[in-house]
């Protein structure tokens, strides 16, 4: 039996660490060629060097339209086509509603929301030309239900959930599936933004009583990128240990 992503070319944003780096490794092991795109040049290069042949890195600020064009062009030049995109890059800062300044709002918007939109726009043409594709937009359980002191972050994650459905409708005629992935509380550097008490509360609140591991989220992303989810588009894959129940 062939591997699940044999011959596929995938761009993963935010692949310099955390879930994105894990996805790069898993997808490569399933036969994909991977282009990691991240603002973190040192981290991104380290991951690409460690994974070796078939994995490349290019610096990208996902809020920059010209940067997106360049990244997609690199995927085409280097690997010949584009089959999938995981819009995984994200930022998270806790702030009460009152403390949420326009700068905090705009920073979340630019990376988590505009970044996903620009990625869709940049990737869809080459995917259509190649006969179709799969796009995974990483939202969050914060795009499913409310948590305290997350207004700016949550707005972007709800927006990503909504955009996914509109894009799924628009891109279905092009053979492109678009789904959102909703990680629960997952053990990465991102959760260091929370206090230890908050992190414990997230563990206690999940019926499975633990944090998710990056491998568990990477396998969920793999499912949405692979043909195993061929009848899914515009849907929401929640991977959260039951925290939203």
Ligand X SMILES: NC(=O)c1ccc[n+]([C@@H]2O[C@H](COP(=O)([O-])OP(=O)(O)OC[C@H]3O[C@@H](n4cnc5c(N)ncnc54)[C@H](O)[C@@H]3O)[C@@H](O)[C@H]2O)c1
**Min. distance of Cβ 215 from ligand X in angstroms?**
12
Site string for ligand X, 223-242 (x = CB under 6 A): --------------------
Instruction: Convert residues 89-108 into a mask of x (bound to ligand X by CB under 6 A) and - (unbound).
Output: xxxx----------------
Phi, psi (5° rounding) for residue 5? -125, 30
Q: How far is the CB of 47 from ligand X (least distance, A)?
A: 9
**Does residue 180 interact with ligand X by CB under 6 A?**
no
Binding segment toward ligand X, per CB under 6 A, in 9-17, 49-57, 118-126, 231-239: 9-17
Long-range contacts from 123-127, C-beta under 8 angstroms, 24+ separation: 123/11, 123/72, 123/82, 123/85, 124/171, 124/174, 124/176, 126/72, 126/75, 126/76, 126/81, 126/82, 127/82, 127/83, 127/85, 127/174, 127/175, 127/176
Please report whether residue 51 would count as binding ligand X according to CB under 6 A: no
Q: Which of the residues are catalytic?
A: 153
**Are the C-beta atoms of 167 and 177 separated by less than 8 Å?**
no
Q: Min. distance of Cβ 7 from ligand X in angstroms? A: 26
The answer to the question of residue 137 lying near ligand X (CB under 6 A) is: no
Q: What residue ranges bind ligand X (CB under 6 A)? A: 13-14, 16-20, 38-40, 43, 60-63, 88-92, 111, 138, 140, 183, 185-186, 188-191
């Amino acid at each position: 039996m062939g591997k699940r992503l044999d011959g596929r070319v995938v761009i993963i944003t935010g692949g310099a660490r955390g879930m994105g780096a894990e996805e790069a490794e898993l997808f490569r092991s399933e036969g994909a060629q991977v282009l990691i795109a991240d603002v973190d040049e040192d981290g991104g290069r380290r991951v690409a060097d460690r994974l070796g042949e078939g994995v490349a890195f290019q610096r990208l600020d996902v809020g920059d339209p010209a940067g997106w064009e360049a990244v997609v062009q690199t995927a085409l030049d280097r690997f010949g086509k584009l089959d999938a995109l995981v819009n995984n890059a994200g930022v998270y800062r806790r702030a009460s509603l009152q403390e949420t300044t326009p700068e905090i709002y705009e920073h979340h918007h630019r990376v988590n929301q505009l970044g996903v939109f620009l990625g869709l726009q940049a990737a869809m043409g080459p995917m259509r030309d190649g006969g179709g594709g799969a796009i995974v937009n990483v939202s969050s359980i914060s795009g499913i239900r409310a948590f305290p002191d997350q207004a700016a972050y949550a707005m972007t994650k709800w927006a990503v959930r909504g955009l996914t459905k509109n894009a799924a409708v628009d891109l279905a005629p092009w053979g492109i599936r678009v789904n959102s992935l909703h990680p629960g509380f997952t053990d990465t550097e991102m959760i260091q933004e929370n206090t230890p008490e908050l992190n414990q509360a997230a563990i206690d609140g999940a019926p499975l009583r633990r944090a998710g591991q990056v491998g568990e989220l990477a396998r969920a992303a793999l499912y949405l990128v692979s043909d195993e989810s061929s009848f899914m588009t515009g849907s929401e894959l929640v991977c959260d240990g039951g925290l939203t129940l």
